[in-house]
Amino acid sequence: MHVVKKILVETSARHVHLSAADLATLFGEGAQLTVKKMLSQPGQFACEERVTVVGPKKELKNVSILGPVRPSSQVEISLTDARSIGIAAPVRESGDIEGTPGCKIVGPCGEVEIPCGVIAAKRHIHMTPADAQEFGVEDKQIVGVKITSAERSLTFGDVVVRVSPKFALAMHIDTDESNAAGCTGNMEGEIIK
């Protein structure tokens, strides 16, 4: 009998990653990110602090910051968000921000104009090396993932596998993708190669 192995599918809502310098500008010198909730990926957390992301057409208020700080600031939004604020955000893996559009980020103590870093995150699966071996996939491999929901079951293509001993097994999709598949609460997906 063939056992289908499932993976947790999480919806990653719009959020911002900040560099230490941008955090200081937005929230004041010496500011630290305050943990609101730990996330499924080890060491990652949602913060109490929020910012406003400003595009040419409009702004997104009350946007979550995810910690810890990173070398470069980055804004991850859905394609719907991007269109609504007037930014042509490309689909990219997190951290791959060269040549992407920038925007203004406003905090309670100041604002920064990031020259690049606005992306729609490429759908992806975080795996440990042991997970990758169990699922028979490797780092950077592109797979499909079938999500079964009550009324909007969907198979996502172009899902990149990201392997690191620092990861925990989970697939991340944005709010547009989550809504398209009718995801509610904790959903599971099946890898299709």
pLDDT digits (tens, 9 = 90+) for 101-139: 999 999 999 999 999 999 999 999 999 999 999 999 999
Mean pLDDT computed over 147-174: 96
- Can you say how many angstroms the Cα of residue 104 is from the centroid of all Cα atoms in its chain? 19
CATH code, 137:
2.40.40.20
Q: How far apart are the first and last CA of the chain?
A: 19
**64 and 41 belong to one structural domain:** yes
Rounded CA-CA distance 53/50 in Å is: 10
E strands in 27-121: 35-38, 45-54, 59-67, 74-76, 91-92, 103-106, 111-114, 118-121
As a whole number, the mean pLDDT across the chain is 96
Range of the domain at 80: 14-121
pLDDT bin (cut points 50, 70, 90) of residue 184 is confident
Mean pLDDT computed over 83-112: 97
**102 and 141 belong to one structural domain:** no
Reply yes or no on whether the pLDDT at 2 is more than 90.
Answer: no
**97 and 146 belong to one structural domain:** no
Rounded CA-CA distance 13/183 in Å is: 13
- List the one residue out of 71, 57, 83 whose CA is nearest residue 117: 71
